[in-house]
């Protein structure tokens, strides 16, 4: 019997009894004492409220009125969960091992007919980054950056961080307040407020070599930090009207910080407002490429001269 299946059966066994002992679990499932204890601890970690009794005849009992309700999935919900796992299997997401064990537990909870359906889906559906000859193969390039999980664990406890980044010619450390951790174009990026330079900065997680909570003396109060961010609010310098074709392109791809506001109930026209760092050559090139990607179904209300000049240069190159 597989571990996932055994734990599910033990949970049902426990649910039907007011009291049980490790010895009973050992006899019932023909497992060793150490295995029984590990299984009970894992069941506790999953949320089942067990109370241990000390003494010679001690054991466990389930707290009354505290048993977690049984979760049942419809066939379509099972398919949706499985396809979501498949679609993100090769996307450098954190907690890869936990995702694999979660998928195994889900499979252990469903019927054989549902399992057969998922096996067929696994054979038929291929997503971007999937090896068609071996869909279950995970290449080294598919694995998330080793610092990503550590970063997430720390920021859940403390968003004031001391990060060390490998730059082109040197290793530098920054005291930051983490604003967002996001993924764009297959790269994980940290958007943080640099507490030393007192400005927003973007740091690639791929260049991260060390992360730890920021020393107390380097911190500023959150109220003061938010006030500085408010004062540094970037003025909008790009305003576009989007037609239906441009909206369709926008939905296919857009930079993370860019959003649109629909201007009619049918969502066929929209307004795009954002700020462009025209003095950052990489960002300027990226936005020019993206505006060309949106196509001709746009009207310009406001645009930096540098962006306009870049668009004209690019169009004249292709249409002399």
d(CA 211, CA 269): 44
Question: According to the model, what pLDDT value does residue 64 have?
Answer: 58
Question: According to the model, what pLDDT value does residue 141 have?
Answer: 62
Residues forming beta bridges with residue 190, ordered by sequence position: 181, 203
d(CA 301, CA 241): 7
For residue range 290-309, list pLDDT tens digits in order: 999 999 999 999 999 999 99
For residue range 52-105, list pLDDT tens digits in order: 775 555 678 776 555 455 566 788 888 898 888 888 877 788 887 777 777 777
Mean of all residue pLDDT scores within the chain: 84
Could you tell me the sign of the dihedral formed by the alpha carbons of 175, 170, 153, 90, in that order?
Answer: positive
In this prediction, residues 274-288 reach a mean pLDDT of 85
In this prediction, residues 268-289 reach a mean pLDDT of 88
In this prediction, residues 269-286 reach a mean pLDDT of 87
For residue range 105-150, list pLDDT tens digits in order: 777 777 788 888 888 888 888 887 777 777 666 666 667 888 999 9
* Whole-number CA gyration radius for the chain: 27
Separation of first and last alpha carbons in the chain: 71
């Amino acid at each position: 019997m597989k571990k996932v299946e055994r734990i599910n059966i033990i949970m049902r066994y426990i649910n039907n009894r007011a009291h049980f002992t490790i010895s009973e679990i050992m006899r019932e499932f023909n497992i060793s004492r150490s295995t029984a204890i590990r299984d009970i601890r894992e069941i506790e970690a999953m949320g089942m409220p067990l109370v241990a009794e000390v003494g010679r005849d001690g054991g466990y009992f389930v707290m009354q009125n505290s048993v977690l309700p049984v979760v049942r999935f419809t066939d379509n919900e099972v398919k949706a969960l499985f396809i979501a796992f498949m679609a993100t299997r090769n996307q450098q997401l954190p907690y890869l091992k936990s995702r694999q064990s979660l998928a195994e537990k889900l499979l252990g909870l469903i019927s054989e007919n549902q399992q057969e359906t998922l096996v067929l889906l696994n054979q038929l559906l291929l997503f971007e980054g999937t090896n068609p000859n071996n869909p279950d193969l995970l290449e080294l390039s598919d694995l998330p950056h080793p610092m990503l999980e550590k970063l997430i664990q720390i920021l859940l406890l403390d968003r004031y961080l001391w990060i060390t980044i490998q730059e082109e010619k040197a290793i530098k450390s920054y005291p930051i307040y983490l604003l967002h951790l996001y993924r764009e174009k297959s790269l994980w990026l940290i958007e943080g407020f640099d507490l030393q330079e007192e400005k927003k900065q973007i740091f690639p997680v791929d260049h991260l070599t060390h992360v730890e909570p920021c020393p107390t003396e380097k911190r500023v109060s959150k109220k003061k930090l938010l006030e500085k961010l408010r004062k540094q609010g970037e003025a909008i310098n790009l305003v576009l009207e989007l037609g239906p074709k441009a909206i369709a392109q926008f939905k296919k791809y857009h930079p993370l910080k860019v959003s649109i506001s629909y201007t009619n109930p049918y969502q066929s026209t929209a307004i795009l407002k954002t700020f462009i760092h025209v003095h950052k050559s990489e960002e300027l090139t990226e936005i020019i490429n993206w505006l060309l990607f949106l196509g001709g179904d746009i009207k310009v209300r406001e645009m930096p001269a540098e962006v306009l000049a870049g668009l004209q240069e690019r169009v004249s190159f292709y249409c002399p």
